[in-house]
């Protein structure tokens, strides 16, 4: 899939649409999800034009990957989630119901998140 420059996260990164920003550096922007699923629900987004995890993992430069991973950990720590715990998740493609075609991590926390997949759903 080619990158769609008009996707909502691209527009947020370009400053065309506002966001509830929690972190920014040269390579990363993080903001609160507009429809939070947990008390803390932050989206960690690389600024580069990557459609999904597959695209990011194959094409991102080492410094972009390092910045992204470090930022995600720092955001979780600064949200006070290291002790109680948190979950990070990335949806790639149709089976995962990825809605926005710009790679992002979801950071969930602030409550007991339950098991990742219910045994009955396997
Ligand atoms: P995904 O299904 O992994 O692509 O998730 C996309 C996420 O983006 C959803 O959780 C949406 O609630 C969230 N979202 C969509 N538009 C915005 C926006 N303008 N600001 C913040 N979050 C958004």
What would the pLDDT profile of 53-92 be if each residue is shown by its tens digit?
999 999 999 999 999 999 999 999 999 999 999 999 999 9
Known active-site residue 102: no
Q: How open is the CA angle 111-35-52, to the nearest 5 degrees?
A: 95
Is residue 33 in contact with ligand 1, taking CB distance under 6 Å? Answer: yes
- CA-nearest residue, atom 5 of ligand 1: 99
Is the shortest distance between the CB of 94 and ligand 1 below 6 Å?
no
| Superfamily name and number for 8-109 | HIT-like (3.30.428.10)
Task: Decide: 110 and 81 in contact? Cβ < 8 Å.
Answer: yes
C-alpha angle 19-21-23 in degrees, rounded to nearest 5? 150
Ligand 1 lined by 19 (C-beta under 6 Å)? yes
| Residue with CA at minimum distance from ligand 1 atom 15 | 34
Give me the residue spans of the domains in the chain.
8-109
Q: What is the per-residue pLDDT across 87-112, written as a single tens digit (0 to 9) for each?
A: 999 999 999 999 999 999 999 999 99
Pick from 89, 53, 91, 49: nearest CA to 72: 89
Average of per-residue pLDDT across 28-37:
98
Which pLDDT score is estimated for 95?
Answer: 93
pLDDT number for residue 20 = 98
């Amino acid at each position: 899939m080619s990158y769609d420059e008009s996707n909502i996260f691209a527009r947020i990164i370009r400053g065309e649409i506002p966001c509830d920003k929690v972190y920014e550096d040269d390579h990363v922007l993080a903001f609160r999800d507009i429809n939070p699923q947990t008390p803390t629900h932050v989206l960690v987004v690389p600024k580069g034009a990557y459609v999904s995890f597959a695209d990011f993992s194959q094409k991102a430069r080492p410094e972009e990957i390092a910045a992204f991973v470090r930022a995600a950990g720092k955001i979780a720590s600064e949200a006070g989630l290291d002790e109680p715990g948190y979950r990070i998740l990335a949806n790639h493609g149709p089976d995962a119901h990825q809605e926005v075609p710009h790679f992002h991590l979801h950071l969930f926390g602030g409550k007991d998140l339950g098991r990742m997949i219910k045994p009955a759903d396997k």
